Structure 1
Amino acid sequence: MMALKPLHPGPSLPDSAGWENEIMNLSETLIGRARDIAPMVASAAYDTDRNRYVSSDVIDACLDAQLFEILVPKVYGGHELNYSTMASVVYEFARHCVSTAWVVSFYIGHNYLHALWPKGFQDEAFAKGPCSFTPGTIAPNFRLTPVDGGFIANGLSQWNSGSARADWFLNSGLVMVDGKPQGAKAFMVPVADVEVIDNWDMAGMRGTSSGDARLTDVFVPMHRVVDVSDLLEGTTPGAQLHANRIYGLPVLPFVFGETMPVMVGAYRGAAEAFQRLTEERYTTFTSSKVQDKQTAQIRIGKGLAGASVAEVLLRDYMNLLDTADPQDLRPIARRAEIRARIGMVSDYVKTGIDDLMLGAGGGAYRNTSPLQRFSRDMNVLRVHGFLDTETAAENLGRVTLNLPPNCPL
C-alpha cells in the first residue's frame, strides 16, 4: 500500500525553506502518530460498530496525539497546518474503521470551523485548550427568533455525528420575522443547552453516534452566529481575522473534503480485507484454495488497483484545497463541479466495494468481518445528502445550463 503524504506544507513565503521544512516535519509527525493509533482503531472496530460510538480510549489517544488541532490557528495554540495533513490522518483510520474516521474527521474539521466564527466565540471554544468537540450540521433545522443581543433557537436536528462526546453543537436555522424567513444563520451552542437524543440505530455508519439534538428556547448571542452566506462564500469573520488563506475557503469544498479521505481509506481497507479473506478461504465442496481461482485473483487485482485510483483522486483534492486561491472556489459553477466530483467518488468507491463483496462468500457477512462493515458503511454514505451523486450531478447540469442550483453550494 502506498502511504499518503502531504503534498504542500502550507502557504509559501519568500525565503521560507526552513519554515516549510518545520511544517512538513510536524505534519509527518502527526501522520505517524495516527499510524501508531490505527491498530487500536482496528481492534476496537467491532465494538465501535456494536456500541454505536467511538470509544473514549480512541478519542483520548487522538487528543493526546494532538490530532484535533491540525487546522486550529496558532494564536489559539493549534498547528495551523493544511488539509493534506488532516486527510492523511483520517485516511489511516478509515482503512480500519469508517465510523472512527468519520468522527475524527468531523472533530478536526469542526475545530477548523470554530476559526471561522467571530473572535468572541473563538475565545470561548479555545478557552480550555486548542481544540474542543463539536458535533452538528449546517442543515437549517432550527427556527431563530430575533431578540436583543441575539436569537432564540427552537427545533430538532438529525445526523449529529460524534454526539456521544461534545462540548458544543453546530447548528443552522432560518431567521423568522412575522412568520417569514429572513435568511439563514449558522450558530454554536454549548452542550449544556442541548437535549442530546440517543436514537442512532442504523444499518451502516453505526459507530458514529449521529443522534438527534433538540433546542428549546435557547438563547444564542450574536458572537456565536455566522451568516450561512458568508460560510458558503468564504467571507466569514474568521476569514477577516486570520491571515492564512485556509480560513477564507468557501465552506462546502472543505466539508466535502472531510468525507473524501474517509471514503478512499475505506476502499483501501476493503481491498486489503478481501485479499486476507481470499488467502484464508477454501471452497465449500472441493476444499480447494479460493486464491487459486481466476475470478478471485481478478477481484483482488481490481480492488487494489481501484483503491490506488481513489488515492490519486484524493491527492488531487488535497492539492486543490491546499493551493487554490479562495477566490477561485467562489464561483457557483466551480463549487457545483466540486460537489459533483465528490459525489462521483462516493459512487466509485461503493461500486468497487460491492464488487469485492460479491466474491467474498457468506462468511464475509458475519458481524465480525471487517469487509461487511466497509460495505454497509459505504452504502449509507452513498446516500448522504452531500454525497448523493444524482443531486450533485443534477446541480452541475443546472448551473452549466445557467439555471439556479436547487441545493446548497
Structure 2
Amino acid sequence: MDLKTDFDTDLKTELINRAENLTDLVAGEAADTDRRGFVSPAVTEAFCDAGFMKILVPKRYGGYELDVDTMAGVVRTIATSCTSTAWVLAFYIGHNWLHALFPERSQDEVFAERSFALTPGTFAPSFTLTPTAGGYLATGRSSWNSGAAGAGWFMNGGLVKVDGQPPTLRFFLAPKADVTVIENWDVAGLRGTSSHDVAIDGVFIPEYHTVDAGDVLNGTSPGAALHANPIYSIPVIPFIVGEILPVAVGTYNAAAKEFRRVTKDRYLSQTGARASSTQTARINVGKGDAGAALADSMLDSYLNVLANTDPALLRDPVTRGKLKAQGAVITDFCGSGINQLVSAAGANAYRNSSPLQRHFRDINMMRVHATLDVERATETYGEVLLGLPPQAPI
C-alpha cells in the first residue's frame, strides 16, 4: 500500500476538524431530522461545502482520493450528534467510492458537475434489466434507498434475464429524473434517513452505467483497473461495513455521554436522592464510557485491517466472511451497551425530548440491517470456515 503524503495527513485532520465544527448544527437539527424524516438541505449542503463527499473520489475527477479511515473519522464524528444524519452521510461518501468502480464513461458523466454525486441505493436484485441496443431497460421497485430526499442519482441492482441462460446481477445507475421516489419511510428507527422506495418503469440504462455485480463484490471492477490506488480494488462488502460501522460506534459514544449527563442531573422519584449517589448508576456510567471507548478501539482495528491488507488477500472468502462477522459483532456490542444505558436511565429516557430514545431506536434498527445482522453475518462466517458455500454475500 502507498504511504500517505503529508498533504493527505493534513487534509484528513482538516476534514475531521470540519466535521467537529458542524456537530452543533447537526445536533441542533437532530430532533427535527427525526420528525420530518430527512436530513435538511442546509445540513447536506454544509457537508458538501466541507468537502466530505469528495473524500473517496479519485483525484483525476477533482476528489481527494483519501482512505476509509478519513471517511470513518468524519462519519463517526457526525454520529455523535445525529445517527440518521451520519447514516445518510456515510452512504453519500461511500457511494461516491462505488461510482469510481463503474466504467470510465460513467465516472466522466457522474463526476462532471461537482466532482461528486449524492447517490442512495441498494444492491438487492429488485429490478429486471432487459437487454436492448446499447444497454438495458430497467423495471422494478427497490426499498431502503437511504438519502433519497437529497439524491441526484440512484444506484440499484438488476437481474439480466436472457432466455436459456441463468440470470446475472448487474448494478446500475439512473438519474433522479428517471426515478419515481415513493415517500413511504415510516419506521421506528433511523427515521431521519429518508430511506424511501424507488420505482423505475422501462427506463433505458446505458451499458456504461452498469457494472457486473461479481466484479464489484470481488474488487475486480472496471474502476479497479482504471485507478491505480488499491482502495478501488477493495471488495465491496468489507468496504460497506467500514462505511456504516462508524455510525454505530459514534452513536454508542453519544449515548454514553448523554447517560452521564442525565445521571448527574437526575433525582430518584422514590427517594429524592441524586441518581449519582447509587452504586448501580456509577457502575453504568463507568461501563458505558468504557464500552464506548472499547467500541472505538474495535472500529480502529477493523479499519486498520481494511486499509492495510492487500486487496488480493481481502478477496479470500474466509477473510471477507471474518470482516463481515466482526462488523456485525461490533454493532451488536454497541447495541447491547446502549440498551443497557437506556434501561438504566429511567422512564424519562423514553420521552421524545430525550436523545437517549433516539439512540435506542436507531441502534436497534441498525442491528437488523442486512449487512450488520449478527446472526446472519456470523452464520455466513461459520459456513466459509466449514468449507460450505456462503448463503449471503460476502
Deviations 1:52-95 (A, max 9, x none): 00111111111111111000011100001111110000001111
Q: How does 1:312-323 map to 2 (within 5 A)?
A: 312-323=297-308
User: Residue 226 of structure 1 aligns to a residue in which SS?
Assistant: strand
Counterparts of residues 3-402 of structure 1 (less than 5 Å):
11-12=2-3, 20-178=5-163, 181-402=166-387
**Contact 2:25/2:43, CA 8 A, preserved across alignment:** yes
How far apart are residue 210 of structure 1 and its match?
A: 0.1
Separation in 1 of the partners of 2:247 and 2:164? 40
Distance 2:158 2:111 in 1: 24
What is the Cα deviation at residue 285 of structure 1?
A: 2.5
Residue by residue over 1:230-264, the C-alpha shift from the partner in whole angstroms, topping out at 9 and shown as x without a partner, is 00110000001010010011111101111110000
Matched position secondary structure for 2:168: strand
Mapped partners of 2:119, 2:57: distance in 1: 13
- SS state at 1:164 partner: helix
Report deviation, 1:178.
2.6
Query: 2: distance between equivalents of 1:26 and 1:381?
Result: 30
Cα separation, 2, equivalents of 1:49 and 1:217: 34
For the residue of structure 2 that corresponds to 1:141, the secondary structure is strand
RMSD of the alignment, in Å?
Answer: 1.0
Native 8 Å contact 2:182 2:198 kept in 1? yes
What do residues 283-304 of structure 1 show as CA deviations (whole Å, max 9, x unaligned)? 1122111111110000000000
The verdict on how the C-alpha distance between 1:50 and 1:328 changes in structure 2, with shifts beyond 3 A counting, is same
Tell whether the 8 Å contact from 1:70 to 1:86 is kept in structure 2 after alignment.
yes
Distance 1:373 1:117 in 2: 36
**Alpha-carbon offset, residue 193 of structure 1:** 0.5
Native 8 Å contact 2:68 2:243 kept in 1: no
Structure 2 residue identity aligned to 1:11: D
**Gap regions ≥5 residues in structure 2:** none
TM-score, with structure 2 as normaliser: 0.98
Q: Secondary structure at the match of 2:106?
A: helix
- Counterpart of 1:26 in structure 2: which amino acid? L
Q: Distance in 1 between matches of 2:246 and 2:191?
A: 18
* SS, match of residue 177 in structure 2: helix
Contact 1:153 1:218 in 2 (8 A): yes
Give SS of 1:156's match: strand
Give 1:11 deviation, angstroms.
Answer: 2.3
Check the 8 A contact 1:152/1:220 in 2, yes or no.
Answer: yes
Q: Is the 8 A contact 1:156 1:213 kept in 2?
A: yes
Structure 1 residue 148: deviation in Å?
1.1
Query: What does residue 15 of structure 1 align with?
Result: none
Report the CA distance shift for 1:145/1:284 in structure 2 as closer, same or farther (over 3 A). same
Runs ≥4 residues deviating over 3 A: none
Q: Deviations over 1:135-158 (max 9, x none)?
A: 011111111111111111111000
1:259 and 1:300 map into 2 onto residues whose CA distance is: 26
1:142-183 superposed Cα distances (whole Å, 9 cap, x missing partner): 111111111111110000000001111001011111386421
Show CA shifts across 1:176-219 (max 9, x none).
11386421000001010100011001000000000100010011
Q: Give the Cα–Cα distance (whole angstroms) in 2 for the partners of residues 76 and 297 of structure 1.
A: 52
Between the aligned partners of 2:120 and 2:366, the Cα distance in structure 1 is: 17
SS in 2 for 1:81: coil
Aligned partner of 1:58: which letter? V
Q: Give 3-state SS (helix, strand or coil) of 2:144's partner.
A: coil
Give, in whole Å, the separation in 2 of the partners of 1:280 and 1:196.
Answer: 44
AA matched with 1:337: K
Q: Deviations over 1:289-348 (max 9, x none)?
A: 111111000000000000000000111122112211100100111111111111111111
Corresponding residue SS for 1:285: coil
AA in 1 matched with 2:91: F
Contact 1:76 1:129 in 2 (8 A): no
